[in-house]
Chain A
């Protein structure tokens, strides 16, 4: 997998001036790219080595909350 800059990118002097690429820590990038940013559809699947590791889906989240509520309310505890 390539880790090279976007080839042929337009010269963006301002971006380079304030933020040389090698000064961006991976943590800062990961924090934004994996945890922030807009989502087009309701689901985001992130896979590692072919295995779906993280599944962020509204339906799944709601399902999990409902399941948790069902488990708590009947007996008064989990």
Chain B
């Protein structure tokens, strides 16, 4: 028996009545000093699955509103009981409060930028696809050069987008895309009143750069901004 914790919240944020989490377990709030958390009780540590991951996210989303933004936790936060969970949270109370204050009134928006695939870009440069040692090394060098160039291009595009967003982007996180044609993955923390303006800027970027693909997602709980 133990408890599974979904997110850190203010102690006054109570789960909706009948709210259920992983495996249909009831979601409840527990207080750790001035900080709260949403958790559910289970006989065993919940195993990872597509359904469990989605349900974890849904519980965190249920804690989110224009007024309140929870600190989303990573999958797998498991404790022996409520006291153990609250004790661990309380030990880092200042950190949680700082994150709650930072996130208040905002949500994360995701943006994946990729090149539109061309026949040339889609050519197979996997080393295993060639026969001789020279061809292998050439293909490897070409692949590495392409990865490096994509990252440079991605950083340039990200800077261009962030410049257009200006203060709409309260914070941002940038990471290298692992996808074949991907340039960069951006996460942007946007205040709720600026959400429409954010989407207008992204739409403008689509129009201005028809050679690129912009895949927007969100709003999300601010998973990307907890560190």
Contacts and interface: CB of A to CB of B under 8 A. Distances in A.
Contacts of A28: 110, 217
Contact of A38 (B54, B72, B199): B72
B170 interface: no
- Kindly state the interface size class of chain A when it binds its partner: 35 or more
Contact of B99 (A3, A26, A32, A38): A38
B88 A40 contact: yes
A36 B223 contact: yes
Interface string A9-36: 1101011001101011110111011111
A2 interface: yes
B192 A33 contact: no
B55 A44 contact: no
A67 interface: no
Contacts of A1: 22-24, 49, 51-52, 55
A15 B107 CA distance: 10
Contacts of A24: 57, 217
A15 B55 CA distance: 16
A10 B47 CA distance: 27
Contacts of B102: none
Contacts of B85: 40
Contact of B47 (A5, A12, A41, A50): A50
Contacts of A5: 58
B73 A29 contact: no
Interface of B: 5, 8, 16-24, 27, 44-45, 47-59, 61-62, 64-66, 71-79, 85, 88-89, 92, 99, 110, 192, 195, 199, 217-221, 223-224, 226-227
Contacts of A62: none
A25 B18 CA distance: 26
B142 to A, nearest CB: 27
Contacts of B218: 18-19
B57 A40 contact: no
Contacts of A47: 45, 47-48
13 contacts: A1-B52, A4-B20, A6-B16, A7-B19, A15-B61, A15-B64, A19-B218, A26-B54, A37-B74, A37-B223, A38-B99, A41-B79, A44-B76
Contact of A15 (B56, B219, B223): B219
A30 B110 CA distance: 13
A1 B62 CA distance: 19
B223 to A, nearest CB: 4
Chain A CB within 10 Å, residue with most, of B23, B45, B85: B45
A46 B48 contact: yes
A78 interface: no
B192 A14 contact: yes
